[in-house]
Amino acid sequence: MSSNQPIRRIAIVGTGVIGASWAALFLAKGLDVVATDPAPNAEARLREFVARAWPALTRLGLSAGASQSKLKFTTDLAEALTNADLVQENGPERIDFKQKLYGQLDELLPPDVIIASSSSGLTMSEIQKGAASHPERCVIGHPFNPPHLIPLTEIVGGAKTSEATIRRAVEFYTSIGQRTVRINKEMPGHVANRLQAALAREVYYLVDEGVISVADVDTALSWGPGLRWGIMGQVMLNHLGGGPGGIEHMLKQFSGPMTAWWKVLGSPTLTPELQKKLVDGLHAEAGSRTIESLEAERDEVLLGLIELRKQAETAATHTVAAE
């Protein structure tokens, strides 16, 4: 696969929440986007989403050539794929559906066009079985919701994905401002979702055991470790937690208590009773706030955090350059 062809035209296959958010991001980066989705009113919903997202994207900074007018829509898959440089696939999380779709994409696209899946849990080794002719150009490019704001993309190859495809995917997502992490071994749920699942398991266990309420466990996370995780990752925070001795001291001092906690972490079962406890607790916590107002609150704080992190990184870069 040649890496010389610039990626300027993106085909979005599937325009649900993730596909629409990807479309908004690509447009903000000055790319041409052709979207396709057979669902009724898909085009109207997509354009409404992009319009709502545009002020936030403008605040973060639009690239040269960014325009909502570069969004085209068609219900015809072949038409959407015409002259595409990359396909961002966002279909349902069903392996039979994915494999059939990848068979169609494989037949319709030139062999050097990357097919990237937003799949949050399926492995590319299984998905690419549908692309019999050119499975080497298929790769996972998994974002986090909403992709137009959260700049993380997990890159995972399948058994038949070429190194050139992975390298080109990393280069592309990095070029539009995404923080890419390459996952070297396929795992169900990839990495970031597995981390979330591990935390959710303990949250649900603590609620199920009556240790803490839903509202209080959310407070404990968002105003405690969650604040730190918005700045640095777990291992780097461990380094700071060791004081002047760094991570070496932290591991020496706290590995005993920490591993003792591991042994008593819970493994809850999502029984109807636990689900009701979570649902009731959530609605008590949310009160009269609607999903739309909660999303707006999340996005406003998220935008502020992203801006702060950019400022900190710029300052750090200037400091290093001056030394």
Segment 93-116, tens digit of pLDDT: 999 999 999 999 999 999 999 999
**Cis ω for the linkage preceding 146 (within 30 of 0):** yes
Average pLDDT rounded to a whole number, residues 232-256: 94
pLDDT of residue 2 exceeding 60, the answer is no
pLDDT of residue 14 exceeding 80, the answer is yes
pLDDT tens for each residue of 30-70: 999 999 999 999 999 999 999 999 999 999 999 999 999 99
Which CATH architecture does the domain made up of 9-183 adopt?
Answer: 3-Layer(aba) Sandwich (3.40)
Q: Which residue has the higher pLDDT, 252 or 316?
A: 252
pLDDT of residue 316 exceeding 90, the answer is no
Strand order in the sheet with 32-36: 71-73, 32-36, 9-13, 86-89, 114-117, 138-143, 152-157, 179-183
What are the residue boundaries of the structural domains of the chain, listed by start? 9-183, 192-287
pLDDT tens for each residue of 178-215: 999 999 999 999 999 999 999 999 999 999 999 999 99
Q: Which residue has the tokens 């609605």?
A: 283
Say if 9-183 and 192-287 have the same CATH topology: no
pLDDT of residue 1 exceeding 50, the answer is no
What pLDDT, on the 0 to 100 scale, is given for residue 222?
96
Nearest to 70, CA basis, from 9, 159, 120: 9
Is residue 116 within 8 Å of residue 93, measured between CB atoms?
Answer: no
- As a whole number of angstroms, the distance between CA 277 and CA 275 comes to 5
Structure tokens, 34: 């052709």
Which CATH architecture does the domain made up of 192-287 adopt?
Answer: Orthogonal Bundle (1.10)
What pLDDT, on the 0 to 100 scale, is given for residue 3?
55
Average pLDDT rounded to a whole number, residues 162-190: 96
What pLDDT, on the 0 to 100 scale, is given for residue 323?
66
Distances (CA, A) of 125 to 74, 137, 141, 225, 305: 29, 12, 14, 35, 36
